[in-house]
Every structure is written in C-alpha cells, then in structure tokens.
Amino acid sequence: MSISPLQKVRLGYQPKLPLILQNDIHQVAVKYGKETESVSDQAKIKAMFPNTYGMKEISFEKASSTASDRKQVVGVILSGGQAPGGHNVITGLYDALKKADRKNVLLGFKGGPSGLIDDEYVEFTDEFIDQYRNTGGFDIIGSGRTKLETVEQFKVVESVAKKHGLTAIVIIGGDDSNTNAAVLAEYFAANGSGIQVIGCPKTIDGDLKNDVIETSFGFDTACKTYSELIGNIERDANSAKKYWHFIKVMGRSASHIALECALECQPNICLIGEEVEAKRQSMMDIVNHIADVVAARAARGDNFGVVIVPEGLIEFIPEVKTLIGEINDLLAAWEVEYSSLTTFDQQYSFIMERLTSNSGSVFSALPVDIQKQLLMDRDPHGNVQVSRIETEKLLIMMVSKVLAERKAKGEYNGKFSALSHFFGYEGRCAFPSNFDADYCYSLGYNAFLLIANGLTGYMSVVTGLSKGPAAWQAGGIPITKMMNMERRHGEDKPVIRKALVELDGKPFRYFESQRATWEVETCFTFPGAIQYYGPEEVCDITTRTLALEQDK
C-alpha cells in the first residue's frame, strides 16, 4: 500500500497514556464511586433499564488487579459519522487486550451495527492493526447508521456474539449510538447472556459531554481543521478586501464547533444557535444584525468580512423550529400518503394544507430551494437533514435584500459581495491531532479495563484533559446517567441528552465579551495547520473551549 511521508511517520507515533494506564495492566483495580441516576425522567428511565440503572461511577487506581483472568474475545464497531481518532480507539483497545494476554482476540465488525447483524467481520492482527495507527477515517472496518433498537435485532446480535464466543462488544459512536449500546447492554443483562457492552464517546459536534465526559473525540481535530481553513479565508478576505464570506460549519444540534472556530479565528460574526433560541431572535432579527455589521464596517471602508454559521442554526430560530417540528410530525404521521407524491407542487400543497396558519406563513415566505430542502428525506431519527439546508446562502440572499433597501433609502453606501462555504466532510477524517491521538488511544485502552473488570452499560471516560496525558484520569460512567426522554418519530424514547452551548459557560461568555470589537474591527487570527512535531505548546494544545472550561 502506498502511503504519504506524513502517514509513514505517524504510524510510528506512540500515543501517550494517563499515568494509571501506564502501570502493569495486572496492577490496576476498580475504585467505585457514588451511585448514579439519569439527568431527568428518572422514574421512566429506571423502569426501562431495571438491570443497568443506578450503577456507580468508577475510576481506576494502582492496586492488585480486580480483573477477570478469563480469555477475552471482544467485538468492536464504529457507528455513525466519522471522527478523527476512531482508529486509535481500536488500536488502544487492541494493545491493552493483547498486553493482558496474547491469546485474547479482537474482532472488528464491518459497516457499523449492521456488521453485528450480518456477521461480517475481520480478526485483527498486529500486521493489520499497525497499518491504521494514528490515521484518520473509519476505513479500518467502515461505519454505518443502522440502529440496534429492536428485540429481533438484539436476538440476532446475541446469536452472532455467542457464535464467536464474544465476551464483550465495544460500540464507538455518538449519543444515539451509545443510547443503543445502553439498550443492548440492558437486553443482555436481562437475558443473562454474559455479554458486556461498553461505549466510547465519539462526535465532532462536541455535543456528547457532561460533568464527566469533558469532550467527545474528534472535536479537537475537526475544529482545528476548520479553523485552519477559516483563518486562510480571513487572510484572503483581508488581502482582497472585497468579499463577505459566509461559512457554515458542522453541528446539527449544537453550536460548539462554530463557537470554537470563532474563539480560534475571531471572525466578524459568529451566530450561536442556542443564543438565537434563548433570545427568541427571528430570522429578520438575525438578518438585520448582520446588515448592521456590514454597514458599520463599510463606513470604515471595509467592505469585507467573515460570518460563521452553525449547521443547525435554522432549527434554533423560533418560527422555523416550530415549522420544522410540524413538518417532522406530519411526515411521520402521513408517511405512506406523502411518499406517493411525485412532484414538489404536490408535496407543497400536501404540507400547506396541514400546517398551522403561522407555520404556513413562514413556509410560504421561504425561497423555493429552501422549501425543497425542508421536505427532503428525513434522517434516521425522523428529523430534517439540516446539513442540506443552505442556511448560509439564505442569509446572503436576505442580507443582500435588506442592504439594497437601505441603499435605496440612502441609509447605506457600501458594497456587499458575498461568497458561501460549507465545511463538513473536510474535518471528519483528518489525521488526528496529537490530543485526539492520545485521547482516543487512552479511551480504547481504558475500555478494555472496563471489560476485564466485568462492567457493562458503561462509557469509557478519560478526564482532566486540559493537562498533559500523564495527569489524565481514567474510569467509567453508566450510560443511563446521561439519559432523558425525547420525542423521536412521534414517540417518547430514552436517549442520551445532547450537550448544547451553555450561555453562562466560560467559552461563550468570553466570546460575548469580545464580539462587539470583532464585529467592527478586523481582528482575524490565523491558527494555521495542525502541528504534530515540535514544541508541546504548539503540538499538544487542546481546544480553546476546553481550556476556558478548565481555566487553562
């Protein structure tokens, strides 16, 4: 296989581990903490997870091993969208498993959860695993979005697991994938199968975190990748001095990526969906604000700038959020009838006849292209696919119209020429930063210790992440601790609660304190490319979000 010089060197990088995981694997013991309960809806969650609810948080300490000495045959899957570092979770799991006993086996099931159902797998060997160390992507076994949520599926997975003698399954995924992990763990526990299930927190969106999970893996690398590109565009904007760049970044349900990129790059405007919702800002409130900033900079002779837009912004705008909610419910309730419609005109009429008057007015006022995007096929959760909604182009159109109206009234005399960008796939499979390489390897290594100690329904967690890896702490948290009830496909279901941007949190408060200056002045900063070799203060830095949250 032909590889690049960087990949060749990165294959030899040895990720750093927390001090506790550097010990002889046979000299690490479980330390139990307090019992847990779900973040809300405690009675309902407890009733749904009678065998795995209320378990204790755990950490590891140096002591005589509390692990089982049985042979471990572990299955692992990658689930959902790609995130930098996924390969290192698997290599960390593999190395710990083999360090405990060379007879232990790791099977990688291909294509995500469907691999467990279809029994498609590969047995990892040293030679195979060594090709993927510290590399981006999920191509080692592929990923998928099949949901493990029905008893029929669980029975198939149990049958496949017993066929291979699996002692445990590790699910590497986001909030929904780990919700499925918790449900699967409950099923196995209820049926006495003896098969453990462990989760690992993955998502570049950064919305899988809480008081124990400080960040999901991939967020660091993705944000640094996007920030490099945004910084490049900022330098170009300041050089050409003639374009406004509207840049949409990933983050379907939360604006963590947008906020982190703003902290890194200091654009003129960064919209935060959670703030829009909290302040109940309308679409026109947002458009008029952007127009005000454009006009203020034009008055200084600066007819250029950069606007960062979170992917999920449109769902935070109150009137549009209500509209989308109605459309989602309508398409779930009338799925058969709607699927028979063959033209947009038919779909438009069908929806308009069933929307409330307010939502109908909002929908009819949108450009036709946006209307079509709102009616596209739903995602696996039954929700609109916001990544396909070209919010950045919609904002450009609306700002242009407002500025033209102001110019006609003599209220604006600048020039507004705008370009749109969407940074999504560019960051999902990048070479993991040193932080993500170390963090992911530690998560995988730690996952094996959870398995060896007989735990199930737990998430692998590593904390203290703003410090160097040697100071990180390793442990586990029951997945049910993170759960609440949410509406999905018209039904209430238990899911891991998404972590949104906290408006009283330190990262947002810092951004809020600076943005008035950034709006008018050109304060761009240029993060540059991710660095892998050199001074630690350049190569091993964490995100600005994590540093601010932990006061570093």
Task: For residue 183, tell me if it sits in a domain.
Answer: yes
Distances in Å between the Cα of 26 and the Cα atoms of 278, 380, 442, 470 are 50, 42, 17, 19
Q: What is the rounded CA–CA span in Å between residue 117 and residue 254?
A: 31
Q: What residues have CB less than 8 Å from 195, skipping those under 6 apart?
A: 158, 161, 162, 166, 167, 168, 169, 188, 456
pLDDT at 459 over 70: yes
Give the amino acid at 42: Q
Domain count, the chain: 2
Helix axes 256-265, 506-520, angle to 10 degrees: 50
Task: Report the range of poorest mean pLDDT among 40-44, 274-278, 489-493.
Answer: 489-493
Q: What is the rounded CA–CA span in Å between residue 516 and residue 531?
A: 31
Residues 392 and 520 in one domain: yes
The alpha-carbon radius of gyration of the chain (Å, integer) is: 24
Distances in Å between the Cα of 208 and the Cα atoms of 350, 382, 537 are 37, 20, 26
pLDDT band at 137 (very low <50, low <70, confident <90, very high): very high
DSSP tag of 165: T
CATH (domain of 97): 3.40.50.450
Task: For residue 496, tell me if it sits in a domain.
Answer: no
What does the pLDDT look like over 91-133, one tens digit per residue?
Answer: 999 999 999 999 999 999 999 999 999 999 999 999 999 999 9
Q: Name the residue with tokens 């032909």.
A: 2
Task: For residue 2, tell me if it sits in a domain.
Answer: no
Residues 277 and 173 in one domain: no
Q: What is the rounded CA–CA span in Å between residue 170 and residue 75?
A: 6
Instruction: Provide the pLDDT for residue 379.
Output: 67
Residue of 95, 175, 205, 540 marked active site: 205
Residues 333 and 420 in one domain: yes
What does the pLDDT look like over 526-542, one tens digit per residue?
Answer: 999 999 999 999 999 99
> How many other C-beta atoms lie within 10 A of the C-beta of residue 299?
12
- DSSP letter string, 425-456: GGGTSSPPPHHHHHHHHHHHHHHHHHHHTT--
* pTM of the shown model: 0.93
Residues 456 and 518 in one domain: no
Residues 148 and 36 in one domain: yes
pLDDT at 253 over 90: no
Residues 336 and 460 in one domain: no
Residues 480 and 534 in one domain: no
- Give me the sign of the Cα torsion angle 372, 378, 379, 381: positive
Q: What is the rounded CA–CA span in Å between residue 149 and residue 357?
A: 36
Instruction: Provide the pLDDT for residue 552.
Output: 59
CATH (domain of 515): 3.40.50.460
Task: For residue 5, tell me if it sits in a domain.
Answer: no
Residues 198 and 99 in one domain: yes
pLDDT band at 491 (very low <50, low <70, confident <90, very high): confident
pLDDT at 1 over 80: no
What does the pLDDT look like over 351-409, one tens digit per residue?
Answer: 999 999 999 999 998 888 888 888 887 766 666 776 678 899 999 999 999 999 999 99
Residues 171 and 50 in one domain: yes
Q: In whole numbers, what is the pLDDT of the chain averaged over residues? A: 94
CB 526 within 8 A of CB 267: no
Task: For residue 408, tell me if it sits in a domain.
Answer: yes
Higher-pLDDT residue of 420, 321: 420
pLDDT at 134 over 70: yes
Task: Report the range of poorest mean pLDDT among 21-25, 57-61, 328-332.
Answer: 328-332
Instruction: Provide the pLDDT for residue 376.
Output: 82
pLDDT at 440 over 90: yes
Task: For residue 281, tell me if it sits in a domain.
Answer: yes
Residue 423's closest CA among 225, 149, 253, 291? 225
- Answer yes or no: 205 catalytic: yes
Instruction: Provide the pLDDT for residue 325.
Output: 87
Residues 373 and 453 in one domain: no
pLDDT band at 62 (very low <50, low <70, confident <90, very high): very high
CB 166 within 8 A of CB 107: yes
Q: What residues have CB less than 8 Å from 202, skipping those under 6 apart?
A: 80, 83, 85, 86, 89, 172, 173, 174, 177, 208, 216, 217, 218
Task: For residue 3, tell me if it sits in a domain.
Answer: no
Locate 80 and state its tokens: 């959902």
Residues 261 and 251 in one domain: yes
Residues 410 and 511 in one domain: yes
Q: If you average pLDDT over residues 5-9, what whole number do you get?
A: 93
Residue 270's closest CA among 507, 498, 428? 507
Task: For residue 495, tell me if it sits in a domain.
Answer: no
Which domain, by its residues, includes 477?
Answer: 16-218+432-488
Q: Cα angle at 198 between 197 and 201, to 5 degrees?
A: 140
Instruction: Provide the pLDDT for residue 373.
Output: 86
